[in-house]
Amino acid sequence: MTTGLKADKAALQKIASEISTLTRCFNIREGLKSEDDNLPTRFYRENLKTGHVVKETDLAAMLKEYYTLRGWNKNGVPKVKPAISLYVNQTHPPFL
């Protein structure tokens, strides 16, 4: 990969994951709740290109799995602060 960073694929994936968690922390601080993790209403009524309609129970199961994969609790709150927050004020973070 050509990114200009001295990092392999695994390191870039870790950074991306930390950015997602940091974004989530910011949004929670600003008032986001797990109830806000939803799709537009039309997704529950209209057929998607695949011919399927999303069911709210399906979305709930997908969100539960997503939260688990991200290392967040059942309400979508990160269990630990993202490590990238340690690099924000550094001139040369370790992954550069």
Assign residue 39 the CATH number of its domain: 1.10.599.10
For residues 72 and 79, the answer to whether their CB atoms sit within 8 Å is: yes
Domain containing 31 equals: 9-86
Question: Is there a domain that residue 92 lies in?
Answer: no
Question: Is there a domain that residue 4 lies in?
Answer: no
Question: Is there a domain that residue 71 lies in?
Answer: yes
Question: What is the pTM for the complete model shown?
Answer: 0.73
17-26 pLDDT tens trace: 888 988 998 8
3-state secondary structure of 87: coil
The total of structural domains in the chain comes to 1
For residues 18 and 83, the answer to whether their CB atoms sit within 8 Å is: yes
Question: Is there a domain that residue 34 lies in?
Answer: yes
Question: Is there a domain that residue 64 lies in?
Answer: yes
pLDDT at 84 over 60: no
Task: Decide which of 42 and 68 is more confident.
Answer: 68
Rounded Cα gap, residues 42 and 61, in angstroms = 19
